[in-house]
Chain A
Amino acid sequence: MPPQTRGRRVQYEEDDYTPESPPEPAHDYSSFPPDGNSDSSANTNADLGIIVKTKFPVARIKRIMQADEDVGKVAQVTPVAVSKALELFMINLVTKAASEARSRGQKRVTPAHLKQAITSDTQFDFLEDVVKKIADAPAATEKMDEDESGEPKKRKGAGRRKKKEDSEEL
């Protein structure tokens, strides 16, 4: 694929999907269910309209919380609340990382895409240490010819040269 073609495709993807502002769910949740349950109308769309049925093991969440020796007793409901927060956090992060991949015309979400999603939002500043060892993703518009072959491994290798010391321990 020549670079121009890729450029056009990226353009198209951006029209379709803006990473900065995730699309509104097609249906208006504030009017569903039609009556009763009035508190759900106060809900923000932090879940982007995504319903996750799988739940985290609450006991594990509690153990991770209490791994911090400063953290003492927690109420029964607390790990459940944290579990929900974690679910929303994951929806947020996974969706952003996937749109980073998509804006580069890639179908596989790599750690570099995740890093890009994290560094693009100050909300995720606390994850800096986690992702600093990951090589940066190439910019969406340049150097595309290099990974035309569609080999993510090759691209990752190319990016790694820059931060060799950091990524070595991986």
Chain B
Amino acid sequence: MSDREFGGNDELSLPKATVQKIITEILNKDSGTAFAKDTRDVLIECCVEFITLISSEANEIAEKEAKKTIACEHVTKALEELGFSDYVSHILDVSKDFKAAQVNREKKQSKIEQSGLTEEELIRQQEELFASATSKFTGPGEE
């Protein structure tokens, strides 16, 4: 149940420094409030419990829909059922941003392919550019 029972198994917990940083950011509004270390550790346990709760609920929803992969919509449905429906719009925003970022990444990767040139042609073009740059550089010096 508790993290302590797993001893040094940090893998299934959250990094303390990151959690501490986030707490500081949250409390930044009213500086002067300190968050005790043992409170932070309890909070981490709560966070792990939260992740477990959401993912097991999302998993059940996905299974009901005969889906093998838990998708974002299963997470949002889980949040709604567990009384966190006010989180959903934020999740949808993040998911949209993430998907947009992925599309961009794919575009960047395929830029070379989109040029429609073979590797040999690309290398030849590059060498031409090198040659013209060299002649531009050495040219005025010779004259």
Cβ–Cβ contact B91 & A44, under 8 A: no
A57 to chain B, nearest CB (A): 7
Cβ–Cβ contact B53 & A47, under 8 A: no
Within 8 A of B (CB), among A58-94: 60-61, 63-68, 70-78, 80-82, 84-91, 93-94
Which B residues have a C-beta under 8 Å from some C-beta of A? Answer: 1-2, 11-15, 18-19, 21-23, 25-27, 29-30, 32-36, 38-39, 42-43, 45-56, 58-59, 68-72, 74-76, 79, 82-84, 86-87, 89-96, 98-99, 102
Which of B18, B49, B55 is within 8 Å of A82, CB to CB?
Answer: B55
Which of B12, B18, B43, B74 is within 8 Å of A63, CB to CB?
Answer: B12
Which of B26, B52, B76 is within 8 Å of A81, CB to CB?
Answer: B76
A61 to chain B, nearest CB (A): 6
Which of A61, A98, A102, A123 is within 8 Å of B51, CB to CB?
Answer: A61
Closest to A68 in B: B56
Instruction: Summarize B's interface: helix, strand, loop or mixed.
Output: helix
With A65-B55, A85-B50, A89-B87 given, name 14 new contacts (CB 8 A): A50-B29, A52-B25, A52-B26, A67-B12, A71-B56, A71-B70, A75-B71, A85-B54, A86-B51, A87-B22, A89-B84, A90-B22, A111-B38, A123-B83
Instruction: Summarize A's interface: helix, strand, loop or mixed.
Output: helix
Cβ–Cβ contact B42 & A111, under 8 A: yes
Residue picked from A52, A61, A152, most chain B C-beta under 10 Å:
A52
Any B CB within 8 A of the CB of A4: no
B21 to chain A, nearest CB (A): 5
Residues of A within 8 Å of B55, CB to CB, are 64-66, 68, 71, 74, 82
Which of B33, B39, B93 is within 8 Å of A111, CB to CB?
Answer: B39
Cβ–Cβ contact A108 & B36, under 8 A: yes
Which of B21, B50, B59, B93 is within 8 Å of A89, CB to CB?
Answer: B50
Cβ–Cβ contact B93 & A39, under 8 A: yes
Cβ–Cβ contact B94 & A94, under 8 A: no
Q: Which of A127-135, A143-151, A157-165 contacts B (4 or more CB under 8 A)?
A: A127-135
Cβ–Cβ contact A109 & B39, under 8 A: yes
